[in-house]
């Protein structure tokens, strides 16, 4: 009897287990369908909220990134200002000596005990550096030296005195000249913003292989006493013009010199009250193989090219005018300009005004 009871219990348990798994197998697909449908419904209901909050979360993250970046930038600005102040303090003795009338070399020598480095006087490699034509510093330069023979904080003219040594290249580009900046002006007594040529008082000429004057802005441009083999005048725009060159017999000209010829003098991006390149005041003509004045923005004075003997003389794509109307010839090439070959193309008269002065900080 007991065995029969135990067999019955096992039978009942087996039936219960089989029934439970049969129910699960039948119920599982319906449970999965229910879970999937519920997920779809919840996702659909949550989408508007996600779309609404996404821009806000994105903006907050960008704001945190911006604040992090601004903190770093402000720190670097503070450090830069501190270093600038430090160097100004270190430079003060040198500046004070210049104001007392010492020239740069003497002032530097007094501070460093006469130690002179090749190409310039250097103190701590940073604080005191000799002025340089290549770096765009003003001053009086005896070609082909890159170091000025005279420099002063109150002398803002870029002047080149040519000597007996020929110079391979002189190139001045991307400069501002005259009173183009508020508060700036031409030197006292000067009427020219750019003056390039020989010396009338000594009857000397500037001899040039290729002279190029292009893409410059001038109040007026006067060219006289020029003898060239090839004269190219093209694509200039001016507030009145008088172009009257004559026929000449100048030979083709280039300037050589081999090892006796000086290297190039090149500068750009300087700001000056005047640019002045002149031949020696002796009986020796100044000689440059290639002389280029390009993209000079001038105001307040005349551009004057004179007493030049050139192989090729190019005046191209300049803008000339001071706003006085077409009757006044702001662009003038006089009858004393002669050439064997003359190309006069696409020069146009257009009414224009002087450019406005700008702040030095703009």
Q: What is the pLDDT of residues 254-302, one digit of tens each?
A: 888 766 676 788 998 888 999 999 988 777 889 999 999 999 999 999 9
Q: Is the pLDDT of residue 327 over 90?
A: no
Terminal C-alpha separation, the chain: 113
Q: For the whole model, what pTM was predicted? A: 0.64
Query: What pLDDT is stored for residue 360 in this prediction?
Result: 59
In this prediction, residue 125 has a pLDDT band, given cuts at 50, 70 and 90, of: very low
Burial call 160-191: b when 16+ CB within 10 Å, e when fewer = bbbbeebbbbbebbebbbbbbbeebebbeebe
Nearest to 287 by CA among 134, 149, 163: 163
Cα gap 140→157, rounded to integer Å: 8
User: Are the C-beta atoms of 144 and 167 separated by less than 8 Å?
Assistant: yes
Cα gap 243→252, rounded to integer Å: 22
Q: Is the pLDDT of residue 212 over 90?
A: yes
Q: Is the pLDDT of residue 129 over 60?
A: no
The helix/strand/coil state of 162 is coil
Nearest to 154 by CA among 194, 93, 98: 98
Query: What pLDDT is stored for residue 227 in this prediction?
Result: 95
Look at the block and give the residue holding tokens 């219960």.
Answer: 16
Look up residue 353 and give its two tokens: 């005004």
Query: What pLDDT is stored for residue 121 in this prediction?
Result: 38
Q: Is the pLDDT of residue 170 over 60?
A: yes
The helix/strand/coil state of 18 is helix
Q: Which residue has the higher pLDDT, 143 or 141?
A: 141
Q: Is the pLDDT of residue 44 over 60?
A: yes
Cα gap 232→349, rounded to integer Å: 18
The helix/strand/coil state of 257 is coil
Query: What pLDDT is stored for residue 116 in this prediction?
Result: 38
Q: Is the pLDDT of residue 106 over 70?
A: no
Query: What pLDDT is stored for residue 57 in this prediction?
Result: 79
Mean pLDDT of 129-147: 84
Query: What pLDDT is stored for residue 114 in this prediction?
Result: 43
Nearest to 285 by CA among 129, 157, 150, 167: 167
Pairing of strands 286-299, 192-197: unpaired
HSE-up (13 A, CA, CB side) for residue 294? 12
């Amino acid at each position: 009897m007991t065995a029969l009871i135990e067999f019955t219990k096992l039978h009942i348990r087996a039936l219960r287990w089989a029934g439970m798994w049969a129910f699960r197998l039948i119920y599982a697909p319906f449970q999965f369908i229910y879970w999937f449908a519920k997920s779809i419904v919840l996702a659909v209901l949550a989408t508007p909220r996600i779309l609404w909050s996404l821009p806000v979360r994105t903006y907050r993250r960008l704001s945190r990134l911006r604040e992090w970046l601004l903190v770093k930038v402000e720190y670097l600005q503070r450090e830069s200002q501190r270093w600038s102040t430090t160097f100004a303090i270190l430079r003060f003795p040198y500046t004070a000596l210049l104001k007392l009338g010492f020239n740069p070399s003497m002032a530097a020598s007094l501070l460093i005990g006469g130690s002179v480095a090749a190409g310039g006087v250097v103190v701590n490699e940073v604080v005191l550096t000799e002025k340089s034509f290549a770096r765009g510093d003003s001053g009086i330069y005896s070609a082909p030296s890159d170091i000025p023979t005279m420099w002063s904080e109150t002398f803002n003219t870029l002047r080149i005195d040519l000597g007996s040594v020929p110079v391979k290249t002189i190139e001045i580009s991307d400069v501002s000249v005259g009173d183009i900046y508020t508060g700036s002006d031409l030197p006292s007594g000067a009427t020219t913003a750019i003056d390039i040529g020989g010396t009338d008082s000594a009857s000397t000429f500037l001899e040039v292989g290729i002279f190029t004057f292009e893409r410059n802005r001038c109040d007026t441009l006067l060219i006289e006493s020029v003898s060239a083999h090839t004269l190219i005048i093209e694509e200039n725009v001016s507030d009145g013009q008088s172009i009257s060159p004559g026929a000449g017999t100048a030979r083709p000209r280039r300037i050589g010199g081999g090892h006796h010829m000086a290297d190039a003098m090149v500068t750009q991006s300087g700001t000056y009250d005047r640019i002045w390149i002149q031949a020696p005041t002796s009986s020796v003509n100044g000689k440059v193989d290639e002389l280029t004045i390009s993209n000079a923005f001038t105001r307040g004075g005349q551009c004057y090219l004179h007493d030049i003997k050139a192989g090729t003389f190019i005046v191209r794509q300049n803008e000339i005018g001071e706003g006085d109307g077409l009757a006044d010839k702001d662009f003038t090439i006089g009858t004393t300009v002669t050439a064997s070959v003359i190309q006069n193309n696409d020069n146009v008269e257009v009414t224009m005004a002087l450019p406005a002065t700008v702040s030095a900080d703009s």
